[in-house]
Structure 1
């Protein structure tokens, strides 16, 4: 079991590094926006969504799996999309956003989620 876990983690890291290299070459995106994307997923999920989910789901532990699925999707959408909206609102005030900026943020966000779920 430990070997499988190690191989899964190693595979995830290899996929992440190769994806980063390919996307960085293809889109010439900013490392700063990539890091903002990483933090833009991790911070709100850990500081806002996690505690709320723990509170709500522990109170409704006897409820159906459908409640958990619908509630989880709603909270993920609410927290992640609100964060994304606020980040892009702040970035758009500083300069005009290009497609590569959005790719950098999206890749950072997706990679952060990939690491957390893995």
Structure 2
């Protein structure tokens, strides 16, 4: 049986991962006055380049067995793929759909859209799936729900939820907040690349994104097994990202002042 406390926390996590992005957009929209268009384009960019294009590549790589799963090579591939698709996606969306939205507030709006839809689609929906599985386990209907899976896979799902701790469950929420901050910071690097017409910063964003994703990828491949070490690294990246975001505001504002003075 999945404990009642775990089920309650999963429900809280679903609500948090759904409302946190929405509340963030409302708050910063009123504070920074960016166009809601930037938020929508950010969300669309994530969906198109990650949920569609990157997912198609992953399906092809796994089905053709070009790269063996559960290896360091696959972890590196996954981290680089995430960096390339997400950062190139940002670049394309700003370049072609936000030609007149290149200020700091526009980067914030886009970042909130990108990070927000990720939090909902990956965070909230993952917890929702865990809730459905947990209720099925407690009601004894898990075998019917996973009737297309073999016995070993069903037992793996059961054990992962029955034996999970509240701390381990809560770490997923913290990770979504950390990732939210990192995604906004990466948006500013790409936007800076476009404003300065220096595509080298796009490469920097790709490599930084791959670096951030490499540790979780290695954990998923069971190459690194200490989850607390992984979350500690992601937390460190989030702190650095937050400081960077604050610094970019003055940098972008200075750029605007220079352009006006000319």
Q: TM-score range by the shorter chain?
A: 0.7 to 0.9
- Per-residue CA deviations over 1:44-77 (Å, capped at 9, x if unaligned) read 2122100111221341574443223211111111
Match of 2:109 in 1: 104
User: In structure 1, what is the equivalent of residue 37 of structure 2?
Assistant: 32
CA deviation vs aligned residue, 1:61-103 (integer Å, no higher than 9, x gap) = 74443223211111111111111111111122xx262111111
- Larger C-alpha radius of gyration, 1 or 2? 2
Query: Judging changes above 3 Å, is the alpha-carbon distance between structure 1 residues 113 and 88 closer, same or farther for their aligned structure 2 residues?
Result: same
Given the alignment, which residue of 45, 53, 78 partners 1:48? 53
Measure the CA separation in 2 of the matches of 1:96 and 1:14. Answer: 26
Separation (CA, whole Å) in 1 of partners of 2:51 and 2:103:
29
1:88 aligns to what?
Answer: 94
Aligned residues: 116
How far apart are residue 17 of structure 1 and its match?
2.6
The equivalences for 1:42-81 within 5 A come to: 42-58=47-63, 59=65, 62-81=68-87
Q: Please, which runs of 5 or more residues in structure 1 have no aligned partner?
A: none
Larger RCO: 1 or 2 (CA < 8 Å, sep 6+)? 1
Q: Structure 2 regions of 5+ residues with no counterpart?
A: 124-262
| Partner Cα distance (2:112, 2:50) in 1 | 17
How has the CA–CA distance of structure 1 residues 60 and 4 changed in structure 2, closer, same or farther, with 3 Å as cutoff?
farther
**Backbone CA RMSD of aligned residues:** 2.0
Q: What is the TM-score normalised by the length of structure 1?
A: 0.84
